[in-house]
Amino acid sequence: MRKRIVAGNWKMNKTYEEALSLVSEIDNMVKDEVNGDVTVIVAPPFPFLQGVGKLTQGNDLMHLAAQNVSEHESGAFTGEVSAGMLKSVGVQYVIIGHSERRMYHHEDAQTLYKKLKAAIAQGITPIFCCGEPLDERDADRHFDYVGKQLHDSLSYLSNEEFDKVVVAYEPIWAIGTGRTASSQQAQEMHAYIREQLSRMFDAEAAFNCSILYGGSCNPGNAKELFSQPDVDGGLIGGASLKSRDFTDIIKSF
């Protein structure tokens, strides 16, 4: 079954105290205001995972994500965090291939494939990000660009492994810019992504895959975006740092 998902990517923001307050506020609002048909995910920085996770545990709608994972299992990889470690502190989802990691940390398609495998092996659901820069869209090459990103990291997974994957389409020109994709631009790319997935995997798995939109999603545009047939929710950056905005986005379905 395709899930409706709203995930908050906190990126490198908040102190520990602030993170705990934010998640308590979100948790309370979600309990009071959100019906049971949506999966809510928060992705705090690594050192806050366990503390934030303790606060989300009692709420069935709330889930815990990490923002990154090592492709390695264990060993001499200073500064890295393995999927097994994430699992051991209750992490259920992990963001893989965010454009900021591709850009600033030079994560290539093969590395992302290994990260996908590492997460899936631990039963952690990857949220695999894709999306084109502005020049590719301006040159009308955005479909090919995103198709290649999907192919280069996902196509080596088995059907069974792919079943666990959530995809997030995040056009780079929309991330943190206040310039969101129109609902039509999002829908046509999401439909294209689903079609590509159905070529790589069985049609049912592609149909059931949740495809999230990310990039300047806010309470004002979420409803229109989420009403598109192939938009199954959102990966939210800036607006996920404000409990009221994040909850209003969750309520936009």
Q: Which is nearer to ligand PGA, 97 or 237 (CB)?
A: 237
Residue 236 makes contact with ligand PGA by CB under 6 A = yes
Question: Which residue in the set 238, 246, 248, 249 belongs to the binding site for ligand PGA (CB under 6 A)?
Answer: 238
Residue 149 makes contact with ligand PGA by CB under 6 A = no
Judge contact between 65 and 103, C-beta under 8 A: no
- Residue owning tokens 């810019």: 177
Per-residue contact track with ligand PGA, 8 to 47, x per CB under 6 A? Answer: -x--------------------------------------
The rounded distance, in Å, linking the Cα atoms of 87 and 100 is: 23
Active site residue 63: no
In angstroms, give the least distance from the CB of 160 to ligand PGA.
27
Q: Which is nearer to ligand PGA, 55 or 236 (CB)?
A: 236
- 27 Cβ partners below 8 Å, 6+ apart? 55, 56, 59, 62
Q: Which is nearer to ligand PGA, 154 or 236 (CB)?
A: 236
Q: Which is nearer to ligand PGA, 201 or 222 (CB)?
A: 222
Active site residue 98: yes
Per-residue contact track with ligand PGA, 163 to 182, x per CB under 6 A? Answer: -------x----xx------
Question: Which residue in the set 217, 222, 225, 231 belongs to the binding site for ligand PGA (CB under 6 A)?
Answer: 217
Using CB under 6 A, count the residues that bind ligand PGA.
Answer: 13
Residues of this chain that interact with ligand PGA (CB under 6 A) are 9, 170, 175-176, 214-217, 235-239
- List active site positions: 98, 170
